[in-house]
A and B are shown apart, each in its own frame.
Chain A
Amino acid sequence: MKKLKELFKKNISFGVYTALVLVVLLIAILAPVLATHDPLNAPLQDALKPPGADHLFGTDALGRDIFSRVLYGTRTSVSGALILVAVILVLGGFLGLVAGYFGGKVDAVIMRISDIMISFPELILAMAIAGILGPSLINSIIAITAVSWTKYARMARSTVLKIKNRDYIAAAQVTGSRHRYILYKYMLPNALPTMLVLAVTDIGTMMLSLASLSFLGFGVQPPTPEWGYMLSEGRTYILTCPWMLFCPGAAVFFVVVVFNLWGDSVRDIIDPKSRTKKKRSTKKMNRKRIATACAVALIGCLAVVPSASAAEKTQLNVSTELTSATLDPANDWDSWFVMRWGALETLTRYADDGTIEPWLASDWSVSDDSLSWTITLKDNVTFSNGEKMTASKVVESIERLYEIQDPENGGAGNPHAYMTYSDIQADDEAGTVTIVTNEPTVDMAGVLAYPWMGIIDVAGSEGRDIANEGPICTGPYVFVSNDPDHDIQMARNENYWDGDVPFETVNIMKQGEGSARAMALLDGSADVAINITAMDRAMLEADDSFLIDVTAGSRMGNCWINMDGVLGNDTLRQAVVMAIDGETICNVSVMGSYIWCNNAPLPYNYDYGFDTLENPFSYDKDAAIALLDDAGIVDTDGDGYRELDGENIEIVYIGSNSRQQDVIGQAQAAQLEEIGLKCSFSIPESSGDSRTTQGFDLIYNNEVTTPTGDPANYLKHWYWDNDSTDYNYGNYHNDEYNALYDQLNGEFDTAKRKEIFTQLQQIILNDAANLGYGAYSFNICAGPEVSGVHSYTSDFYWVTKDITPAE
């Protein structure tokens, strides 16, 4: 004890830093006492509050108290780093001791493996390992251990090699001591001090490595409070709620500094060689030279190239989150983008009110037997290569799609879901295309407007690498280069058929973060930004020069409910639906990015009878609790969660990061917890597996409900329970629904269809078979240098000929 006192007295800095380390440890241990709020509790009405008396560090998007989360984050980070260092120390030390002591083959194998590990950038391998094993704290510890143990192994090995040939070791061996004994009794004590020093100085670094991994999304999973992940969550709100970044950021910094200082002071004591030596007097250096060097350094640092302002606007700069992997319109999703970038056009197009307008075609009509459609083409349309768009070319284009997508040719998608034709004929003289369908196709005009049906010059595109160079189309712009991770370059179509093309070039920049897109508008590097979060829009709104066009289209967010799982229980499912305060989530948590539709499957602003629907399970938390209590779904084992028939309920909720669905999912999960239902929310690398293997109770979905101007296909999702190729993921079944749905087949009367759509929605509501997020509101924002930007309800037209330089 006296010795210890002396140690502290002699090393004041060590004493101070030790005290600081103890403070950090105390904070970690006492987090529950010190925290002012429950770090997981998400009262939505408090979302995004700036720091104040109630919330010292403010709140995050879910209304969680950041101060409390930072405190609890200390636990995660400190314990993570300590466990990590301990694991590395033990593993590296053990392997090093063994390698050094036994030598020979053992040594060779261990050291070669260590060579492999050491000749490798740390984060890369850690990322690969964490990515392959799946994201979690344990896996990131494994990953970092795998790349960091070598340093310790080498150190232990060299110590062993130094003392291995000493007499006392030989004596021990001769007297028959076991290897284990010698290793433990002689080798370990010799190697331990230097290794401990290394370990102590490594704690800070390890903490940073762990935080980096979880910042990238490969570490601790939400909702566990962890600083790295909190920072990456806060990144979305950098413009408007910087406290979400700076509070956890400051915490990481502080704790890492404390551990680094402490590590250094420990090293100074144990390893006096490195201790700062007494001041030596030195002559003054050549100040001039140093000053010059510093000046050069500063200039290097601060040089900021002034931005050149173009005199005339000839390039349109677009910032987007989404791009497609290929430019081949035969791929369903990709065709959307070929159209969005202004290259692809369709025979017809959607107007904002859902009706169908002419585009490349001027007119269409159906025969009396409802099977044969005649489409009249405009006669002035040319492709970008100057070729005239003839009826035969249109037929070739449609045939190409069906051929490529035919499962017999290895096609995966299925355009037959939109329409199946038995015959398609071109009449080049008359400029008409005749499509004969097997079954009455009510929404033919709408089908033709779907981007998949975009018209390309098949013969003219021959020899082109369509996936990367894009096809020959009729739109105002043509592809120059395509790098979907970075940018897509387009140029004016000199042969455009429909008037002047305003810009020489279009530069489409992929910017994954919503804030990055808002920033691109603000700093002038983008003229048009697709989809900016409501938070960032508020920032733009303060400045009149920005145009913000918001539309709620037919894209709906919702959850499939797995009827084969625990939520197959009617009472439980009804309570789940009633427990979710969707309106607050839409308006507060995601700030209007979704518009609440009271669980209706179809959007409120399309004409499908939204006003006549009645949701028997509207939000009512108390009623949800009462419902569960009455049904005997209560907590019997005192763990705070309800059980169903004595079995623990755990609702497995699979979410997604895109379109703020992570925020919604977490908010919903938190609300389920509030009524005593255990809900585990996670975001997998990819949801495909979980959907098909039924490894979920709730799984996110985000879909355009009326791709052809008609929601019948979308409503099939609650219907087709016999066909493995379709999408009834939740295995919902209701005979009444199925019978009603079948009536849609061949029904051309729009009023009658509307009535059926309304009734179908009502059945889904009555069965509590849909957990809605709301209608996704998308937007296009534009800077002051362009005009004519519009956000279409169909979400298919982004870059159009109507976007021009501002007057």
Chain B
Amino acid sequence: MKGKYIVKRLLQMVIVLIGISFLTFFLTYLAPGDPATAMYEAAGVTPTEEMLENTRKSMGLDKPFLVQYGVWVGKCLHGDFGESYSKNQPVLKLLIEKLPATLKLALLSLAMMLVISIPLGIYSAVKQNGITDYIIRFLSFGGISLPGFLVGLILMYVFALKLRLVKVSSSTLGFEQMLLPAVTLTIAMASKYTRQVRTAVLDELQSDYVIGARARGMKFNSVLWKHILPNAVLPLITMLGLSFGSLLGGASVVELIFSYPGMGILAVNAVKTRDYPLIQGFVLWIALIYMVVNLVVDISYSYVDPRIREAG
């Protein structure tokens, strides 16, 4: 059963990947300006008409759209995502280079988020309508309403500029340089998750089995830790997969503010310089990672959750 499920998911992934590749290729095809000019422009060169003509031919731009797409996909399958216009380097190399920094930041902020939001969420639910609950709800509500760039700038202003506690600028990727970007990402996520955990725990608290267990005289703490928590926290795994995926690609704003050398900055610069091969490669790459992560999450989920396990 399990094997079948995975095969089915993998097939779905392939279809989605084909869709995404087609979409990105089509979008860049539609984009104003011609890629040959864009290439020279990104390299800072003013080309002559003849150079353009030659480049167009060598890039295969004179061929019909579907042929161009086919050629491009074929190359991608061989790991050749093309050459970045603005950096004159293979797209794949650039993407792989930037991955570790982004990965580190994503993992650090996810870890910080979990450490904060799970205890706070539980506490807030257990002490529902108490003063702590209100404070936590108030803060988490503020957290989801704050734009990431504002949080980042405020943190930078206060901790790096006024108090001079943290150095944000360094070329080595130490914990210190990652701290403020990670905290920025954590604040928004932790707010969301705290609310999520709180709602989940509240739901469980009111479910019949908890009332039953309490009626049988089980201690509240043991009900909480043994029954409520596993049930309340499990659904978070799926959310975690999604968050992880968007952290891998979507931390552009934060990376930009702190000049953090990850994939986000690469993407922003690629879009700004109209580096089409890099944009295409980036989009595909992110989609792939995102889907793999979510597949792993779903599969692991089915191992963890007995209901799914038994249903097969």
The one of B112, B157, B249, B286 that contacts A242, using a Cβ cutoff of 8 Å: B157
Contact A325 B119, beta carbon cutoff 8 Å: no
In the assembled complex, the Cα of A266 lies from the Cα of B145 at a distance in Å of 17
Question: Whose C-beta in chain A lies nearest to the C-beta of B129?
Answer: A279
In the assembled complex, the Cα of A669 lies from the Cα of B11 at a distance in Å of 56
Contact A301 B28, beta carbon cutoff 8 Å: no
Q: Which residues of B114-168 are within 8 A (CB) of A?
A: 115-116, 118-120, 122-123, 126-129, 141-142, 144-150, 153-154, 156-157, 160-161, 164-168
With A325-B43, A689-B33, A692-B46 already in contact, the answer to whether A511 and B259 are too (CB < 8 A) is: yes
Measured CB to CB, the closest approach of chain B to A136, in angstroms, equals 13
> A422 at interface (Cβ–Cβ under 8 A)?
no
Residue numbers in A under 8 Å from B157 (CB-CB): 238, 242, 245
Q: Which residues of A103-138 are within 8 A (CB) of B?
A: 112-113, 115-116, 119-125, 127-134
In the assembled complex, the Cα of A686 lies from the Cα of B272 at a distance in Å of 8
With A132-B31, A523-B164 already in contact, the answer to whether A253 and B150 are too (CB < 8 A) is: yes
Which candidate, A174-182, A207-215, A349-357, A697-705, is the interface stretch facing chain B? Answer: A207-215
> B23 at interface (Cβ–Cβ under 8 A)?
yes
Residue numbers in B under 8 Å from A218 (CB-CB): 271
Question: Whose C-beta in chain A lies nearest to the C-beta of B44?
Answer: A333
Q: Quick one: CB contact mask for A271-314 with B, threshold 8 Å, 1 for yes?
A: 00010110110110110001001101100110111010000000
Contact A516 B153, beta carbon cutoff 8 Å: no
Q: Which residues of B7-57 are within 8 A (CB) of A?
A: 12, 15-16, 19-20, 23-24, 27-28, 30-33, 37-38, 40-48, 51
With A128-B279, A325-B43, A688-B46 already in contact, the answer to whether A297 and B259 are too (CB < 8 A) is: no
In the assembled complex, the Cα of A204 lies from the Cα of B192 at a distance in Å of 14
Q: Quick one: CB contact mask for A585-623 with B, threshold 8 Å, 1 for yes?
A: 000000000000000000000000000000000000000
> A631 at interface (Cβ–Cβ under 8 A)?
no
The one of B19, B250, B261 that contacts A124, using a Cβ cutoff of 8 Å: B250
The one of A132, A253, A520 that contacts B28, using a Cβ cutoff of 8 Å: A132
> B236 at interface (Cβ–Cβ under 8 A)?
no
With A252-B150, A688-B46 already in contact, the answer to whether A121 and B245 are too (CB < 8 A) is: yes
In the assembled complex, the Cα of A285 lies from the Cα of B229 at a distance in Å of 13
Measured CB to CB, the closest approach of chain A to B47, in angstroms, equals 6
Residue numbers in A under 8 Å from B41 (CB-CB): 686, 688-689
Question: Whose C-beta in chain A lies nearest to the C-beta of B223?
Answer: A283
Q: Quick one: CB contact mask for A240-280 with B, threshold 8 Å, 1 for yes?
A: 00100110010011001100110000000000001011011
Q: How many positions in chain B have a CB within 8 Å of any CB in the partner chain?
A: 109
Measured CB to CB, the closest approach of chain B to A303, in angstroms, equals 8
Contact B153 A245, beta carbon cutoff 8 Å: yes
> A64 at interface (Cβ–Cβ under 8 A)?
no
Residue numbers in A under 8 Å from B274 (CB-CB): 131-132, 685-686
In the assembled complex, the Cα of A257 lies from the Cα of B140 at a distance in Å of 11
Q: Which residues of B164-189 are within 8 A (CB) of A?
A: 164-171, 174-176, 179, 183, 186
Contact A132 B30, beta carbon cutoff 8 Å: yes
In the assembled complex, the Cα of A228 lies from the Cα of B257 at a distance in Å of 13
The one of A131, A232, A290, A516 that contacts B259, using a Cβ cutoff of 8 Å: A516
In the assembled complex, the Cα of A516 lies from the Cα of B167 at a distance in Å of 11
Contact A507 B23, beta carbon cutoff 8 Å: no
In the assembled complex, the Cα of A779 lies from the Cα of B43 at a distance in Å of 27
> B231 at interface (Cβ–Cβ under 8 A)?
no
> B68 at interface (Cβ–Cβ under 8 A)?
no
Residue numbers in B under 8 Å from A407 (CB-CB): 48
Measured CB to CB, the closest approach of chain B to A261, in angstroms, equals 8
Q: How many positions in chain A have a CB within 8 Å of any CB in the partner chain?
A: 101
The one of A216, A217, A525 that contacts B169, using a Cβ cutoff of 8 Å: A525
Contact A487 B171, beta carbon cutoff 8 Å: yes
In the assembled complex, the Cα of A507 lies from the Cα of B172 at a distance in Å of 10
In the assembled complex, the Cα of A282 lies from the Cα of B115 at a distance in Å of 24
With A294-B120, A297-B120, A410-B51 already in contact, the answer to whether A325 and B86 are too (CB < 8 A) is: yes
In the assembled complex, the Cα of A513 lies from the Cα of B258 at a distance in Å of 9
With A131-B279, A132-B27 already in contact, the answer to whether A123 and B250 are too (CB < 8 A) is: yes
Contact B205 A282, beta carbon cutoff 8 Å: yes
Contact B19 A249, beta carbon cutoff 8 Å: no
Contact B30 A307, beta carbon cutoff 8 Å: no
Contact B31 A133, beta carbon cutoff 8 Å: yes
Residue numbers in A under 8 Å from B183 (CB-CB): 301
Contact B273 A686, beta carbon cutoff 8 Å: yes
In the assembled complex, the Cα of A112 lies from the Cα of B283 at a distance in Å of 18
Question: Whose C-beta in chain A lies nearest to the C-beta of B156?
Answer: A238
Q: Quick one: CB contact mask for B233-264 with A, threshold 8 Å, 1 for yes?
A: 00000000000011011101100110101000
With A132-B279, A468-B89, A509-B170 already in contact, the answer to whether A280 and B291 are too (CB < 8 A) is: no
Contact A283 B253, beta carbon cutoff 8 Å: no
> B92 at interface (Cβ–Cβ under 8 A)?
no
Which candidate, A37-45, A478-486, A551-559, A707-715, is the interface stretch facing chain B? Answer: A478-486
The one of A228, A413, A467, A489 that contacts B149, using a Cβ cutoff of 8 Å: A228
Contact A124 B169, beta carbon cutoff 8 Å: no
Q: Which residues of A196-248 are within 8 A (CB) of B?
A: 204, 208, 211-212, 215-218, 228, 231-232, 235, 238-239, 242, 245-246
With A123-B252, A124-B286, A485-B269 already in contact, the answer to whether A304 and B206 are too (CB < 8 A) is: no
Contact B116 A301, beta carbon cutoff 8 Å: yes
With A122-B250, A283-B220 already in contact, the answer to whether A215 and B19 are too (CB < 8 A) is: no
In the assembled complex, the Cα of A325 lies from the Cα of B44 at a distance in Å of 10
Contact B144 A119, beta carbon cutoff 8 Å: no
Question: Whose C-beta in chain A lies nearest to the C-beta of B262?
Answer: A486
With A293-B119, A725-B48 already in contact, the answer to whether A509 and B171 are too (CB < 8 A) is: yes
Residue numbers in B under 8 Å from A228 (CB-CB): 147, 149
With A116-B16, A242-B157, A523-B168 already in contact, the answer to whether A325 and B145 are too (CB < 8 A) is: no
Residue numbers in A under 8 Å from B271 (CB-CB): 127-128, 130-132, 218
Contact A319 B169, beta carbon cutoff 8 Å: yes
The one of B88, B120, B256 that contacts A325, using a Cβ cutoff of 8 Å: B88
With A304-B165, A522-B164 already in contact, the answer to whether A121 and B248 are too (CB < 8 A) is: yes
In the assembled complex, the Cα of A486 lies from the Cα of B37 at a distance in Å of 27
In the assembled complex, the Cα of A297 lies from the Cα of B168 at a distance in Å of 22
In the assembled complex, the Cα of A487 lies from the Cα of B172 at a distance in Å of 9
> A512 at interface (Cβ–Cβ under 8 A)?
yes
Contact B220 A282, beta carbon cutoff 8 Å: yes
Residue numbers in B under 8 Å from A486 (CB-CB): 171, 261
> A799 at interface (Cβ–Cβ under 8 A)?
no
Contact B112 A301, beta carbon cutoff 8 Å: yes
Contact A294 B119, beta carbon cutoff 8 Å: yes
In the assembled complex, the Cα of A688 lies from the Cα of B37 at a distance in Å of 9
Residue numbers in A under 8 Å from B128 (CB-CB): 276, 279-280, 282
Contact A212 B149, beta carbon cutoff 8 Å: yes
Q: Which residues of B269-312 are within 8 A (CB) of A?
A: 269-274, 279, 282-283, 286-287, 290-291, 294
The one of A208, A296, A520 that contacts B115, using a Cβ cutoff of 8 Å: A296
> A519 at interface (Cβ–Cβ under 8 A)?
yes
Contact B161 A519, beta carbon cutoff 8 Å: yes
> B87 at interface (Cβ–Cβ under 8 A)?
yes
Residue numbers in B under 8 Å from A119 (CB-CB): 16, 20, 287, 290-291, 294
A-B residue pairs, 3 tightest by C-beta = A131-B271, A293-B119, A486-B261
| Apart from the given pairs A119-B291, A132-B279, 7 other A-B contacts in the complex at a CB distance below 8 Å | A131-B270, A212-B253, A279-B128, A283-B221, A304-B166, A326-B88, A689-B37
15 residue pairs of the A-B complex, CB under 8 angstroms, read A119-B20, A122-B250, A124-B282, A131-B270, A216-B253, A228-B147, A228-B149, A242-B157, A249-B153, A253-B150, A294-B119, A317-B171, A507-B171, A516-B259, A519-B161
Chain A interface (Cβ within 8 Å of chain B)?
112-113, 115-116, 119-125, 127-134, 204, 208, 211-212, 215-218, 228, 231-232, 235, 238-239, 242, 245-246, 249, 252-253, 256-257, 260-261, 274, 276-277, 279-280, 282-283, 285-286, 290, 293-294, 296-297, 300-301, 303-305, 307, 317, 319, 325-326, 333, 407, 410, 412-413, 467-468, 483-487, 489, 507, 509-513, 516, 519-520, 522-526, 685-686, 688-689, 692, 724-725
